[in-house]
Amino acid sequence: MASNVPLWDAAAMLTAGLVLAGIAAALHVYIFYMESLAWTRPSTRAVFGTSAEDAETTKELAFNQGFYNLFLAVLAGLGIALTASGADDVGPALALAGTGSMAAAAIVLLLSSPAHASAALKQGVIPLVAVVLVVLGLATS
């Protein structure tokens, strides 16, 4: 017997999207740490595949790029917090701005540097799914 009860309701999709947005934000805070605070450390260089010389040469660029990641994480986190506190308009909008920008940046990385496809997917899939779920949650409410 078929049921007319949807597998996921709007609130569940929105909640799942915001949880994924939080995971994406946490990942981007970690990327901030690696790029802005630990760029020249051997463990970070191993992750990014850079030599000590290259890391030293690019540390100012990485420092700046790390802050971009931090600001996207803050934007998504603020959106999550505002949504949780009942700001049902600005909260999801900020969460979408943060996660949408994360996903878009991952697409740029993928298209501009196919050799970094793995990194692009690691950075982009979770925020992209968050965007889809938040939009579906909002559209079906």
Q: Identify the band that residue 3 occupies on the pLDDT scale cut at 50, 70 and 90.
A: low
pLDDT at 54: 97
* 34 DSSP assignment: I
Number of neighbours of residue 60 by Cβ within 10 angstroms: 10
The shares of helix, strand and coil residues in the chain, as percent rounded to the nearest 5, are 85, 0, 15
Calculate mean pLDDT across residues 85-114.
Answer: 97
Given a cut of 80, is residue 5 above it in pLDDT?
Answer: no
The mean pLDDT of 105-125, rounded to a whole number, is: 95
- pLDDT exceeds 70 at position 6: no
Are 113 and 132 within 8 A, CB to CB? no
d(Cα 34, Cα 66) in Å, to the nearest integer?
8
Q: Residue 98's pLDDT is what?
A: 98
Which position has the higher pLDDT, 109 or 141?
A: 109
Per the document, the length of the chain is 141
Q: pLDDT (tens digit, 9 = 90+) per residue, 21-50?
A: 999 999 999 999 999 999 999 999 999 999
Q: Which of 8-17, 90-99, 120-129 has the lowest mean pLDDT?
A: 8-17
**End-to-end alpha carbon distance in the chain:** 26
CA distance 80 to 24: 12
Q: What is the pLDDT of residue 41?
A: 98
Contact 138, 131 (CB under 8 A): no
